[in-house]
Amino acid sequence: MSWLDEALRDMTQRMDVAIRAALSPEPRAGELMRPERLLAAMQHGTLNGGKRLRPLLMSECAAAFGRADDGVLVAAAALECLHSYSLVHDDLPAMDDDDLRRGQPTVHKAFDEATAILAGDSLLTLAFDLIAEPSVHPDAAVRLRLSQDLARAAGVGGMAGGQMLDLQAEHRTLGEEEIRTLQAMKTGALLRYACEAGARLGNASPEDVARLRRYGEVIGLAFQLADDLLDLEATPEVMGKATGKDAEAGKATLVSLYGADRTRQILAGLVEEATTLVAGLGPAGERLAGIAAFVAFRSH
């Protein structure tokens, strides 16, 4: 087992603990009670064996600047709640209409559609409760910045906007620039946020925040190219899910424009850029370089 498999497994356990704590039946100050069924649906949507890449990125980016306490995990849990909400809503019948996620029934299948809508809404809302927790950062101004940046990354000009563009793309063929914009918003914004916010958690200088922000953008680009390449080349057996979906749907991807060989060259260039960006950041920087290589060259 590589150090990265171990780190991801470790982060999965830490996130399960942090998210379970956030989804405790005990009402918090300002709440009257928390309905059992809604909590169960939120747990189903978050504690589902996701690989916790975003929390790991955030935590390593904070560690690169010397921060490694449990408050980082609270911020990472906020980010993962937000990521999970997007999956719960994307799976809905009116959206991608998926019955299964990681081999388990999706939330609207395990519960019902109304409950899934509310569970997604509540996970999104919970992210903004968690990110404001004092343990996240001693300075309220930093926590507020993390909160507002999260809203920007997730909203109409970020992830949700990217999902809108993706829905609209079903009716026409996008050009290269349009695909880049769509992907930078739909999947890139949250990956970039994970890294930039991690640097802020570690009190990085503005230059270093910008550097980690760019590292996050590069990770986002590599993540999407690798995903498209896998969809094109891997067998369903290796992926544990249907492949060739994009081609079947007549959906243009950057890989369909570039071809597999040029895509692999671009991926190599992205890993090189990412490695340069995190050079000099000690062991955490080395791990971040390793994550970039994993994201770009993973085979499943």
Q: What burial letters (b/e) apply to 78-88, b meaning 16+ CB within 10 Å? A: bbbbbbbbbbb
How far is CA 158 from its chain centroid?
13
Phi, psi dihedral angles at 105 (to 5 degrees): -60, 140
Q: Taking the complex as a whole, how short is the minimal distance between the CB of residue 245 and a copy of itself, in angstroms?
A: 18
Q: Decide: is 33 part of the binding site for a copy of itself (CB under 8 A).
A: yes
Q: Considering only residues 11-30, where is the footprint of a copy of itself by CB under 8 A?
A: 23, 27-30
Q: Decide: is 198 part of the binding site for a copy of itself (CB under 8 A).
A: no
Q: Taking the complex as a whole, how short is the minimal distance between the CB of residue 293 and a copy of itself, in angstroms?
A: 26
Tokens 């490695």 locate to 275
Biggest alpha carbon distance in the chain?
58
Q: Decide: is 31 part of the binding site for a copy of itself (CB under 8 A).
A: yes
Give the gyration radius of the chain's Cα atoms: 19
How many Cα atoms occupy the beta-carbon half-sphere of 65 within 13 Å?
23
The DSSP letter of residue 100 is E
For a copy of itself, give the closer residue by CB, 45 or 285: 45
Name the burial class of residue 197, with classes exposed (0-12), middle (13-18) and buried (19+) by CB atoms within 10 angstroms of its CB.
Answer: buried
Q: Taking the complex as a whole, how short is the minimal distance between the CB of residue 11 and a copy of itself, in angstroms?
A: 24
For a copy of itself, give the closer residue by CB, 214 or 264: 214
Per CB under 8 A, the list member of 47, 164, 239, 247 interacting with a copy of itself is: 164
- Total of residues contacting a copy of itself (CB under 8 A): 61
Q: Decide: is 32 part of the binding site for a copy of itself (CB under 8 A).
A: yes
Write out the residues near a copy of itself by the rule CB under 8 A. Answer: 23, 27-35, 37-39, 42, 85, 89, 92, 94-95, 112-115, 117-118, 120-122, 124-126, 128-129, 132, 140-141, 143-145, 147-158, 160-161, 163-165, 167-168, 181, 184-185
